[in-house]
Each structure stands twice: as C-alpha cells, then as structure tokens.
Amino acid sequence: MLWRSRTERTGEPAAWMVVGLGNPGEEYAGTRHNLGAVVVTMLADRLGGSLRRSRELALSCEVHIGGQRVALALPQTFMNESGQSVGRLVRRHGVDDPSRIVVVHDELDLPVGSLRVKAGGGLAGHNGLKSITAHLKTQDYVRVRIGVGRPPGRRSGADHVLRRPPKAEAAELAVVVGEAVGAVEAILTEGVDATMGRFNAGP
C-alpha cells in the first residue's frame, strides 16, 4: 500500500490529513466543484494556518487542533488528477492510516445544501475520488460530502459542477460550507462516528 512505503517525513507525523478538492485557477473559483477547497481554506484561516505551494502539487500547511498535528491541503492538479497530489502528501506528512485522511468534496447525489459524513464506501462517479482511490489503493478514507444536487433538464453533471451557482443557491451553499467546516473540526476532535451521528441526522 502506498502509505506503507518509505516516507519523506523527517519530523513528527501528522495525526490527520484534510484534503479539499477543487480545480486550480481563477476560472474555476466559485464553481460547485470547488466547494471542498473552500471548506479547507476556511478551516486553515480559522486555525491560523497559511496554505503555501508545496512540492506535492498542492497548497498545504500544518495546524494544531485538540493537541493534534493536522495537515491541510488543496491539490493544485485538476480534479481528475487529485490522487497524484494526495499520494505525495500522504508520504510527506506521514499519515499511515487511510481512516485518518478526510476528503471534502461536492456531491451530485445529495440535494443542494445538504451535508453528509461518510467513512469509506463508493465513489458516486466523482473523478477526484476515483483518482485518490487509484493512488492510495483504498477507498477507506473519510468523506465530507456537500450536496450540489443534480442539474435540471439535459445538462450533464460535469457541466453542472463546473458552473457557478445562481445567487439564491450560492447563499444556501455558503451556509452548508460553514457547517462542513464544523463537521471537519468535529471529526478531528470527536471522531468520525460521533460526527456522523451529529451531521447525518438531518433530512
């Protein structure tokens, strides 16, 4: 398995790694597909972290929460190559257990504004998750899923997630992004099961 290979880590390993998925570049800013990156950026700001470009094809930093060292990262590959960055980040930060990797991403199969926490499981056609799974050779990482809903009419899912939402939907998504930040913090401090009990109880 990838995370059992020789690590480039020279200091204390991180207890957790949190990855926010999105596409790099201004043309993708504000699109539905970049919600995961927004969540991790907000989390870094809240915890006093400074995301900086790294050799792992990412913007990354380390912060402390609940006495634990936590790596935060935004892959700077395009979405369907996210695993290239995550694989390198795993080695860099010494995260040995896939259940200690949290991936925050948009989810077509959830209604707009909904939030779910999931440990392992399927990929729901998400290209970022497919790439991460291919590089880590496991699906056993944690996901924080932000609902963006299916597109109306004949519009494709790919087109839908690469668009910026209209004003009313954007306001709804801004609320759930804040909730997702709280969900990630809860995972890091209370554990995955307790967090699922809190955040998966809604409609």
Structural domains in the chain, CATH included, are 11-199 (3.40.50.1470)
Q: Which residues are catalytic?
A: 33
**For residue 6, what pLDDT is reported?**
40
Q: How many C-beta atoms surround the C-beta of residue 8 within 10 A?
A: 12
pTM: 0.93
DSSP strand E in the chain: where?
Answer: 16-20, 52-54, 58-65, 68-75, 101-107, 115-119, 142-147
Residue 135 has a pLDDT of 96
Tell me the torsion sign for CA atoms 174, 198, 108, 124. Answer: positive
The model's pLDDT over 59-111, given as tens digits with 9 standing for 90+, comes to 999 999 989 999 999 999 999 999 999 999 999 999 989 999 999 999 999 99
Q: Nearest CA to 51 among 61, 43, 36?
A: 61
Q: Is the pLDDT of residue 201 over 80?
A: no
Coil, helix or strand at residue 122: coil
- Strands 58-65 vs 52-54: parallel, antiparallel or unpaired: antiparallel
Strand partners, 72: 18, 61
pLDDT of residue 36: 98
Predicted confidence (pLDDT) at residue 3 exceeds the cutoff of 50: no
Per DSSP bridges, beta strands 142-147 and 68-75 are: unpaired
Query: What DSSP character marks residue 31?
Result: S
